[in-house]
Structure 1
Amino acid sequence: MHTHPLVGHAPDPDHPGWWTWDLPRDGGYYANVGKLLVRADGPGRALFRMFPDDSHRNLEGGVHGGALMTFIDMAMFAGGTLATGTAVMGVTLDCHVRFLAPVRPGSPIDAEVEVLRQSGRTLFVQGRVIQDGETVASYTGGLLRTAGA
């Protein structure tokens, strides 16, 4: 599989069947996201996992909606890459999220990513975010591959 040249990708020894999705930890935005994993989930589908912790909390003690939106945005790209077999590098055209239940720190969350359609440089995806077997959010989005990607 081809990934972004700055993303580390290797089998995760602690989670059989999952692969790391190691983003640069150079002090930029990604430095606060934490450990991320990805795996294929059938044709045109992938799973993307995050391990939310106390650094992702809002004032009420749950995972901040902005942290969840960041996770979903990254899931669309990582999942799209794994589901299509080619690196998806570009920009988010749109992302609609429906928050359905609170997300708690301390328990992993999985984003199901399904590629609905590829049309030229545009990729359309949808999915759900699940924590402990419960759907906590659903989303749809569009990605635009940048020139040369």
Structure 2
Amino acid sequence: MSAPAFIHEPDPDNPGWLIWQLSDPTRFNATLGKLLVRLEPDGQARVRMFPERPHSNLANNVHGGVTLAFIDVSLFAASRMFGLIEAASAVTLDLSTQFMGAGRVGEPLDATVELLRETGRLLFLRGLVVQGDERIASFAGTIRKSVRR
């Protein structure tokens, strides 16, 4: 039996949060660093990353590419929290993002994700990237669930 693709278990350092981490640290997701996820009382999922210097641009803000990657990974972490997919069982079909501000290094960055609709194969999601009370980006994305064989 092979090891699970993701580590998805309670984070002992952050009660109420689950770790969202690839089991293989040589894969792309590891570039984002530590990620946490939880369900909010309103039914949305909240995914958190901890931006550090390697995530920064020359203005010492979170690089836009990091924010985009974080959003993409958040779609999957949220969908897993909603109980709609298993890890590594879906693909991104589209992702639309509107940047509204710059993320700061050294402060948690959160993506709040809401499920708009589920069809047989598709999940339609939207959300915000926030840092404290500031909105950094809004997004909408569609992911396709895999077919079980």
Specify the SS of the correspondent of 2:105.
Answer: coil
Residues 1:32 and 2:31 aligned together: yes
Q: How many aligned positions are there?
A: 146
Q: Distance in 1 between matches of 2:32 and 2:46?
A: 17
1:47 corresponds in structure 2 to 46
Q: Distance in 2 between matches of 1:42 and 1:83?
A: 13
Q: Which runs of 5+ in 2 are unaligned?
A: none
CA contact (8 A) 2:29 2:73 kept: no
Q: Distance in 2 between matches of 1:116 and 1:54?
A: 34
One-letter amino acid of the structure 1 residue matched with residue 102 of structure 2: P
1:145 corresponds in structure 2 to 145
Residues 1:74 and 2:73 aligned together: yes
1:17 corresponds in structure 2 to 16
2:134 corresponds in structure 1 to 134
TM-score under structure 1 normalisation? 0.90
Q: Distance in 1 between matches of 2:22 and 2:8?
A: 9
One-letter amino acid of the structure 2 residue matched with residue 30 of structure 1: N
**After alignment, is 52-61 or 36-45 more displaced?**
36-45
One-letter amino acid of the structure 1 residue matched with residue 96 of structure 2: H
Instruction: Give percent identity, aligned residues only.
Output: 42
One-letter amino acid of the structure 2 residue matched with residue 56 of structure 1: H
Q: 1:66-120, CA deviations, whole angstroms, 9 ceiling, x for partnerless residues?
A: 1000000010111111123542621101000110010011000111010000011
Q: Which runs of 5+ in 1 are unaligned?
A: none
Q: Distance in 2 between matches of 1:90 and 1:7?
A: 14
RMSD over aligned Cα atoms: 1.9
One-letter amino acid of the structure 1 residue matched with residue 115 of structure 2: V
CA contact (8 A) 2:5 2:24 kept: no
Q: 1:33 deviation in Å? A: 1.3
CA contact (8 A) 1:44 1:84 kept: no
Specify the SS of the correspondent of 2:6.
Answer: coil
One-letter amino acid of the structure 2 residue matched with residue 35 of structure 1: K
Q: Distance in 1 between matches of 2:42 and 2:144?
A: 21
